[in-house]
Structure 1
Amino acid sequence: MNVADLLARQAVKMPHATAVIQAERILSFAEFDALVWGLCRCFRENGLLVGDVVGVHVQNPLLHLATILALARSGMVSVAISTLGSDGQASRNILLRAAVSAVIDDAGSLNWGCQKQINLDPVHALNLQGEHDESLRVDLPNARMMLRTSSGTTGLPKIVEATHASMIASIRREIACIGYPVGERYLTPVALQFDGPRRRYLSCLASGATAVMPSGVPSFTSLFALIDQHDIRHFSCVPSQAYQMALSVPPGKQRFPQMRCFRLSAGPSEAQLHQFLRERLTPNICISYGCTELGPLTVAKPDLVTSKPQSVGYAMPGIELEIVSANDDPVPAGAVGIVRLRTEGMPAGYLGDPAATEKYFRNGWFYPGDLGSIAEDGLVFHLGRADDMMIMNGVNIYPAEIEQAMMSHPAVVDAVAMPLKHKVVNDIPVCVLALGAGQALSEQELLVFARRRLESHSPKRIFVLDEIPRNEHGKVKRPELIQTIVSRLQAET
């Protein structure tokens, strides 16, 4: 089965139902499927062949989604690339490592240095229409359809392969656990260069729901207008975006009480944020935990987010999730250990990176580098990155316990804990905080607060910044943050 068949089935089943909305453009399932067929013909006529790896630099989200479906239907392999900030150099590195032979670009002014470059004019491309043509469709379920790339916040971006079969399995997990009811409208402000938004929009179309897409990078005003105009019932974003949305809403009334699912993904989130979102936005906060390599892994629905705010929910069907020791021995329920995962059709490793493959893919399991625990009833708790665990004088200190404690302070809106290396005590725990608008607390006052709650596990230094640097997907830009801390310390000496 080809992943684009999921769209084709809906085009046959409910051809006149609305598939996608972007500004004034509204396409039915039949019309959107015809657009994908038109792009298939366009790419073949421009010399792309079955098996080609194609870089996708398409900034219009509607055209981006149609492009990756057309490439998949045609037996080609897509990899999203970006020119945003430092990502531009990372994308050129990805082009080399992934052996990209062509780039599809809707900007028109960039030269990617590949054998082929197809410059799409969005106005023309979005009006392409094609008929069903089996000569253009390739049905190889175990063939690659996409290369996923990590954010690269901790180093060189990693590249992992997704087959048609593994992507379809991921989409079906998403639909089963989150739900995309027929006709319900879904929206995200996160760019489609990231795996999560791509998969959710594909899930939306596969289940007969409607994908609503912004034009360009939406402001909060335009985002709220989209939600109101299209009666959005399913919305997803990263925690930092959710906080800014809630901050712009006056207290006293929920802005979107009708929303079925307001989903937080990518970065960790805390009970204080969940409560703030319930007060200002909607009672229906949903949490998901996943990774680029395998897709969504766990989900916590609104009642669970309220009753167990520190958990990330239960493992999705088809996902085996275990907590093990450093020696790969299973640990008792409730004990903290290393997360490992496996699922049918998972990748065997990273493309062109044997060292990372050896570290993270072992004995049929994938080790994402996270710390966690599982309660006796199967409830999963995410406790941060294993690489960030601190050992001070032989005592294990977990970043999550510091971050959760500091986020309980009413003035704190973001927190990141990390170690500073020391030749005697191994790791010195420090915490970087961002305070809410109008809040003014000294680092010493915050240290006293931390010591009362964490005692010997409290951070030894606290740094307050206007904002903690995160990428668009909510992940901390650690090299940038570490440089800020080092600069602060150097200024003190």
Structure 2
Amino acid sequence: MNITDVLSEHAHNRTEHPAIEDGERIVTYGELDGLVDAAAANLHAAGIEPGDTIAILLDDSADHLIILCALAQVGAVLFSLNSNASKVELENSIASVPVKAVISLGPRLSDDGLLWLRAKDICQPAARPFDGKSAGNDDPLMLNQSSGTTGAPKSFLHSHAAMLDWMARNIEVQGWSREERFLCLSAMRFSDCRNISLCILRFGATVVIQRCRTMDELAVFVRGKHISYLKLTPSHMASMLEYAAGKEILFPDLRAMVVASAPVTHLQRLAARERLTPSFCEQLGSNETGPLVFGNPADQDAYPDAVGRIVEGVEAQIVDDEGRPLPAGEVGQVRFRGAGYPTHYIDDPQASARAFRGGWFYPGDLAALNEEGYLFFKGRADDIINNAGAKFYPIEVETALLEHPDVNEAAVFGWPHARVGEVAVACVVVNPETSEKNLQTFCRQRIAGYKVPHYIEILAEFPRNAMGKISKLEIKKIIERTLAERQAKR
């Protein structure tokens, strides 16, 4: 089996049902099977063989999805590039893995000896049908990377079998129907959007591609296109909440709005359910594993401090530093086990030894689990702050900051201090702008004095990595520069 083997079945059973809607272009399932076969034939004719790693440098489009499916069919390994990256960054990404060819919209970027293929040529009618060997269950499908939130991303492979397991878990968790109309606000170069789009096509529902430039356009688009399932990040959610202030509920007819990539506070959830949609859900997972935790409105009301419940097909444990399971309710390192997880990072034995142990995946997070399977996220294991022996988690301070009506995003870190060992420092995105002193006073009313940020940096926006996640590494550099400047002025 491979992830595209059901397309011919959909072509027969769902012939006129839209598979992809890209502006005025509508690709039905009856058309998609033939388009993927033609693209696979063209790739095969260009010399692409099973096991070849192919870098993809494309904007979101129907052709992008068709090419992804065609590469999967011929057995190539997909490696998505960031189309917003600089020429040097792209060259470094391509050089970091054994790429055979690059598929892009335009001409080659450099004389690197690689095969450069244009998307429009791949998507032309083929001289003959694809007659190569299709990928099998255990063949590699994607070269993915970890999110890189706290450092350089690490590479790992997913097979067709692993992706099929990932897709099965998603379908079970999300409760999709064949009439689902999916819109993701992240780009397809990000693994979550790309993988769910492929999952939707395998399931037989509809992927809708949007190019909205403003919140006004997006609001009209979602309602006008009858989007039923909307996937977004906390940053998207913050922008939507700001836009929706004082308006009627923005998307009353959505079946599900799912925020992923980072936990949100319960106050943010309640605001989303009041201003955006009553069907607001939260999901926590990783690029390595896919969905791990899911919380719907009923889950949120049952345990406001929890992210949600561990999803079906995933086993979770909270353990101490020696790997011994802890009782329900105690905080420790969380580890996960499930079908299709990678077993190591490529060419990084040290990171592999930390993350993959005894059949478990250790994401490096601290959490607690109750007896009903709800997960209470506490932060990164190496982010705990020790202030004169009193230990606390950054998420406690972030939650307090996010309760302020002007704060859209917050990130908190421990920082060295000569007298007490460590103090909390924070970085926030606010609208409208407020002062550091105002935020510190606000925090003192909600958390213990030793947890109040010693310093707060106010930014217009947070730096983000190639995966679209907040780059805490870059934020720390900003804080370090500012504190050094303050020290120099004394």
The normalised TM-score by structure 1 is 0.92
| Equivalence for 1:66 | 66
| Corresponding residue to 1:289 among 284, 290, 295 | 284
Distance 2:438 2:357 in 1: 45
Deviates more, 1:168-177 or 1:180-189: 180-189
Q: Is the 8 A contact 1:100 1:114 kept in 2?
A: no
Aligned in 2, Cα 1:131/1:330: closer, same or farther, shift over 3 Å? farther
| Corresponding residue to 1:459 among 448, 453, 461 | 453
| Equivalence for 2:223 | 228
Shift of 1:151: 3.6
One-letter amino acid of the structure 2 residue matched with residue 343 of structure 1: G
Deviates more, 1:464-473 or 1:310-319: 464-473
Distance 1:407 1:307 in 2: 21
Q: Is the 8 A contact 1:76 1:145 kept in 2?
A: yes
One-letter amino acid of the structure 2 residue matched with residue 168 of structure 1: L
1:91-490 correspondence to structure 2 within 5 Å: 91-108=90-107, 110-111=109-110, 113-121=112-120, 125-126=122-123, 128=125, 133=130, 135-215=131-211, 218-422=213-417, 425-437=420-432, 439-440=433-434, 442-455=435-448, 456-471=450-465, 474-490=468-484
Q: State, as a whole percentage, how many aligned pairs show the same letter.
A: 31
One-letter amino acid of the structure 2 residue matched with residue 450 of structure 1: C
| Equivalence for 1:79 | 79
3-state SS of 1:5 partner: coil
Shift of 1:273: 2.0
Q: Is the 8 A contact 2:334 2:362 kept in 1?
A: yes
Aligned in 2, Cα 1:25/1:252: closer, same or farther, shift over 3 Å? closer
Aligned in 2, Cα 1:145/1:114: closer, same or farther, shift over 3 Å? farther
Shift of 1:357: 0.8
Q: Is the 8 A contact 1:144 1:162 kept in 2?
A: yes
Distance 2:127 2:313 in 1: 37
Aligned in 2, Cα 1:155/1:473: closer, same or farther, shift over 3 Å? closer
One-letter amino acid of the structure 1 residue matched with residue 153 of structure 2: P
Deviations 1:131-176 (A, max 9, x none): 864x334242111011111243433221111000010010011011
Aligned in 2, Cα 1:130/1:382: closer, same or farther, shift over 3 Å? farther
Distance 1:91 1:303 in 2: 44
Distance 1:175 1:400 in 2: 30
Shift of 1:250: 4.7
Distance 2:362 2:384 in 1: 15
One-letter amino acid of the structure 2 residue matched with residue 34 of structure 1: G
Aligned in 2, Cα 1:9/1:381: closer, same or farther, shift over 3 Å? farther
List runs of 5+ in structure 1 lacking aligned partners.
none
Shift of 1:193: 0.8
Aligned in 2, Cα 1:85/1:95: closer, same or farther, shift over 3 Å? closer
| Equivalence for 2:46 | 46
| Equivalence for 1:22 | 22
Q: Is the 8 A contact 2:38 2:129 kept in 1?
A: no
Distance 2:14 2:129 in 1: 16
3-state SS of 2:7 partner: helix
Aligned in 2, Cα 1:459/1:60: closer, same or farther, shift over 3 Å? closer
Shift of 1:116: 1.2
List runs of 5+ in structure 2 lacking aligned partners.
none
Shift of 1:371: 1.4
Shift of 1:70: 0.8
Q: Is the 8 A contact 2:67 2:122 kept in 1?
A: no
Aligned in 2, Cα 1:100/1:294: closer, same or farther, shift over 3 Å? same
Distance 2:230 2:111 in 1: 34
Shift of 1:34: 1.2
Q: Is the 8 A contact 1:266 1:473 kept in 2?
A: no
3-state SS of 1:142 partner: coil
Distance 1:305 1:257 in 2: 19
Distance 1:92 1:251 in 2: 47
Shift of 1:115: 2.6
The normalised TM-score by structure 2 is 0.93
Q: What value does the CA root-mean-square deviation take over the aligned residues?
A: 2.2
Deviations 1:426-477 (A, max 9, x none): 322112222222x53x322322332332213333333333333334755222
| Equivalence for 2:36 | 36
Shift of 1:89: 4.6
Aligned in 2, Cα 1:383/1:92: closer, same or farther, shift over 3 Å? farther
One-letter amino acid of the structure 2 residue matched with residue 192 of structure 1: M
Distance 2:317 2:111 in 1: 42
Distance 1:91 1:339 in 2: 34
Shift of 1:412: 2.0
Q: Is the 8 A contact 2:79 2:142 kept in 1?
A: yes
Shift of 1:83: 4.1
Deviations 1:24-65 (A, max 9, x none): 110111211211111101111111111111111121332222
Distance 1:308 1:18 in 2: 39
Q: Is the 8 A contact 1:189 1:218 kept in 2?
A: no
Distance 1:114 1:221 in 2: 45
Aligned in 2, Cα 1:264/1:112: closer, same or farther, shift over 3 Å? farther
Distance 2:369 2:454 in 1: 29
